[in-house]
Structure 1
């Protein structure tokens, strides 16, 4: 995969955000039946088992104590992020929850600076701020929602920190280990944590709750929203800087709204259009302006 240009990995990240955007619609019925920890546990344990079967020869070849340890760390970070997000959602509005979650766009460049000693450029910071403004317009409705930091908002901000840490950790670990094998152990760790946490703190709904429709939706979440989308993300983060990847991942909020418009009749408003434009502008700033600056420096040096 060394000969694959970076733009291919960036397109793959966008594909993952399309899948996750659609998963918001799929989750609508599932979260009404399964408590959060049980949902995460069953989703990721099945995804880990499926990926383990598919990649069994690869896992046997690249498995090591380091890969298992890194996978466990990723599983803890991702489970923590999802769980905090769900707790926050119970105590704040969906729009505020989505917006505060997406602030990981701003956190990633600084987290990467701490870990990799690569200082964020002015383009990284400006692009992240523009993206968050766009996400605010997309996520928070015009019905008078106000942002104040209470328990739900604090939990959601904690989720953003965990997501940012997960993105940075994947970027770091995937350069040292096989990304797909790393994903297998991430899923297994995350699924085990979900089952343990669910058994200790939540009530299992019972077998009768698993109707054919719920089973089909769970299969989508496990196969496409987990195996496919997370596999794409973890492989791509070994080849795309996390500061750029976090902005591309913010498209998840855009596609979530798009599918809501197409499938649930949500109205397209000027507010949404402006939000979409700002998010895409942030990606353009991140992708094109640094390249122009490099070209200008080369011309100045050569002259």
Structure 2
């Protein structure tokens, strides 16, 4: 793993965080006109079809190992998005963005368990500081958590498993194949849950077409393909912390477009998360270089 490839991978993950941050606002608006599981079904199935056409030769030559890896990752992906999308009906977009980002604290330990690679002290410190920042932003004065917040926290656990399993399988599998298979798996499960819990009548309105296409092409197809490829060249803890910046972007977009309130707590929480990212990414090496 070269330093340049790692840098490009991390910058790519930062772009993914921006796209995912915008996705909170788009999803919040879309849920006013379409039910959660059908929204998930359309965003995943459209992405799967387009990627399957583009990378048809890779899918045709896919190994059983790659397909199994994609299915496992897809199960975590569906569980995370199902809880997140349903939960967003009961909480604010900005708040959900930061609760979702708590997955950054879980990833080093989950990946440690599956790969036996122990996180270093900087990763652990960064994860803890990130958790503090998220707590400042998300918890009420009486430390209560609502139904939507609880579902979002469960979604964070699933996303931590998703990032960890992606990092584990992407090293040995074809990232394009497992990207397509994971999205297809999530799409099929979304359709099954839509039929079971939302009925067979799909009430898709004209104003939902642009949000669905945005979520399909950018927040899903582009973002997960870039994430999977990038995680071949950077570790899961780095990926989790960079991707947790979606919380900062999500809350910023929510303030701008949904008119959610800007507070001092928001600012302090963002600063804490930013420091956690710097800690994980640089190990504060630039301070050592100055002293030398």
Q: Give the TM-score taking structure 1 as reference length.
A: 0.86
Contact 1:104 1:163 in 2 (8 A): yes
Q: Residue 98 and residue 19 in structure 1: after superposition, are their counterparts in 2 closer, same or farther (change >3 A)?
A: closer
Residue matched to 1:181: 177
Measure, in 1, the Cα distance between the counterparts of 2:119 and 2:2. Answer: 25
2:216 pairs with 1:222: yes
Q: Residue 94 and residue 210 in structure 1: after superposition, are their counterparts in 2 closer, same or farther (change >3 A)?
A: closer
Measure, in 1, the Cα distance between the counterparts of 2:43 and 2:74. Answer: 13
Contact 1:35 1:203 in 2 (8 A): no
Residue matched to 1:282: 276
Residue matched to 1:74: 73
Contact 1:38 1:198 in 2 (8 A): yes
Measure, in 1, the Cα distance between the counterparts of 2:258 and 2:174. Answer: 40
Measure, in 2, the Cα distance between the counterparts of 1:83 and 1:170. Answer: 18
Measure, in 1, the Cα distance between the counterparts of 2:137 and 2:9. Answer: 26
| Structure 2 unaligned regions, length at least 5 | none
Residue matched to 1:17: 17
Residue matched to 1:58: 58
Aligned-residue offset at 1:261: 3.0
Measure, in 1, the Cα distance between the counterparts of 2:196 and 2:234. Answer: 39
Aligned-residue offset at 1:184: 0.6
Q: Residue 194 and residue 290 in structure 1: after superposition, are their counterparts in 2 closer, same or farther (change >3 A)?
A: same
Contact 2:93 2:251 in 1 (8 A): no
SS at match of 2:119: coil
- Alignment of structure 1 residues 225-244 onto 2, 5 Å: 225-244=219-238
Q: Give the TM-score taking structure 2 as reference length.
A: 0.89
Residue matched to 1:249: 243
Measure, in 2, the Cα distance between the counterparts of 1:88 and 1:263. Answer: 20
Aligned-residue offset at 1:145: 5.4
Measure, in 2, the Cα distance between the counterparts of 1:33 and 1:88. Answer: 16
| Structure 1 unaligned regions, length at least 5 | none
Measure, in 1, the Cα distance between the counterparts of 2:9 and 2:256. Answer: 27
Aligned-residue offset at 1:156: 3.3
Count of residues paired in the alignment = 290
SS at match of 1:177: coil
Aligned-residue offset at 1:180: 1.4
- Alignment of structure 1 residues 126-165 onto 2, 5 Å: 126-139=125-138, 144=140, 146-148=142-144, 153-165=149-161
CA distances 1:205-254 after superposition (whole Å, capped 9, x unpaired): 535x321x311110110001111111111111111111111110110011
2:139 pairs with 1:170: no
Q: Residue 24 and residue 154 in structure 1: after superposition, are their counterparts in 2 closer, same or farther (change >3 A)?
A: closer
Contact 1:96 1:147 in 2 (8 A): no
The structure whose Rg is larger is 1
CA distances 1:254-281 after superposition (whole Å, capped 9, x unpaired): 1112222333344543322222211110
2:264 pairs with 1:270: yes
